[in-house]
Amino acid sequence: MTPTQEVLLQPVAAGDAPLIQQVYQASPKHFERIAMEMPGLADVEREVEAILSDPNRRAYLILHDGRPVGYLDYKLHYPEAADATVTLILIAEPYRGRGFARQAVADLEAMLQHDVGRLFAAVYGDNPGAEAFWRKLGYRFLKSGAPSVRWYYKRLKRA
């Protein structure tokens, strides 16, 4: 793995759907793995509207050198009030293997450590690489759910 410099987590804003779509288009294997058609721009625009209207949902573009290399989406207060759950972390295929996801998760943990007791990660589909990723970061397997979701979690430090 070539080490990365830094990533910047930029909160998703109303006009960011084309940038998210760019990450999606550069990630066709992800959509094949979860057996889902790649969302069109209109779908991504609706998703951004849903994110911005939900007070518990947060999403970030993962930037490196000012370019979007990934996307991170999580929900606060889920499954319980003191928890948060990462529902998607996606690094565009040309940028994988450089530590961008690892750095983004470390940054997220640092942002949440004073407010969140446990951070969960949902892994969809048959994705042993994602499961290994979460385990390497210290997350523990919690349970399998339907349809084809595996849950991992990590306790964060609380002030």
Position 61 confidence tier, pLDDT thresholds 50, 70, 90: very high
Distance of alpha carbon 74 from alpha carbon 58, whole angstroms: 5
CA-based radius of gyration for the chain: 15
Distances (CA, A) of 118 to 56, 92, 105, 112: 15, 27, 13, 9
Q: In the prediction, which pLDDT does 107 show? A: 96
**For the residues 20-46, what does the mean pLDDT come to?**
94
Q: Which residues pair with 68 in a beta bridge?
A: 63
Q: In the prediction, which pLDDT does 145 show? A: 82
Distance of alpha carbon 6 from alpha carbon 15, whole angstroms: 24
The per-residue pLDDT for range 116-151, each reduced to its tens digit, is 999 999 998 888 899 999 999 999 999 988 778 899
The per-residue pLDDT for range 4-24, each reduced to its tens digit, is 568 999 999 999 999 999 999
Delimit the domains of the chain by residue range.
8-155
Report whether 62 contacts 72 (CB < 8 A): yes
Distance of alpha carbon 95 from alpha carbon 70, whole angstroms: 8
Q: In the prediction, which pLDDT does 110 show? A: 94
**For the residues 26-53, what does the mean pLDDT come to?**
94
Return the CATH fold of 8-155.
Answer: Aminopeptidase (3.40.630)
Neighbours of 50 (CB within 10 A): 11
